[in-house]
Amino acid sequence: MTDRPIPDRTAELERRIAELERRSPRAMIQDGRSGLEEAFWAVTHSIFPEEARKHLKSATREQLMAARVYVDKWIARLDEQESASGTPARPHEKIDVE
């Protein structure tokens, strides 16, 4: 047995059970995740330490923010071209992406 008190061991086992239930096929489908996505993250978690994953997440965020700046600039350029040509601009619809 272990030297840990029973409440600590129980809490750890409950946490592990909750994690296994979260990774079940039913839970993945309910959350909109695929088995391939889960496999990818399982490999990522086993290969990269926590600190490296934090840096990778930050780098991904920075790349997405850079892409946003590029797309915003592209849209602004198109709007300028429309207004310079004298054609009435189409109304733009803002779409929130989650």
Question: Per residue in 71-83, pLDDT tens?
Answer: 999 999 988 888 8
Number of other residues whose CB lies within 10 A of the CB of residue 16: 10
Find the domain containing 38 and state its range: 1-47
Per-residue model confidence as pLDDT tens digits over 14-61: 998 888 887 776 777 777 777 777 788 788 888 999 999 899 999 999
The per-residue pLDDT for 52 is 92
- The number of domains in the chain is 2
Q: What predicted TM-score, i.e. pTM, was given to this entire model? A: 0.45
40/67 same-domain check: no
User: Is 7's pLDDT higher than 90?
Assistant: no
Torsion of CA 15, 18, 19, 24, to 10 degrees: 160
40/12 same-domain check: yes
pLDDT classification of 95: cutoffs 50, 70, 90:
confident
1/42 same-domain check: yes
9/31 same-domain check: yes
54/43 same-domain check: no
- Are 2 and 9 in contact, with CB atoms under 8 Å apart? yes
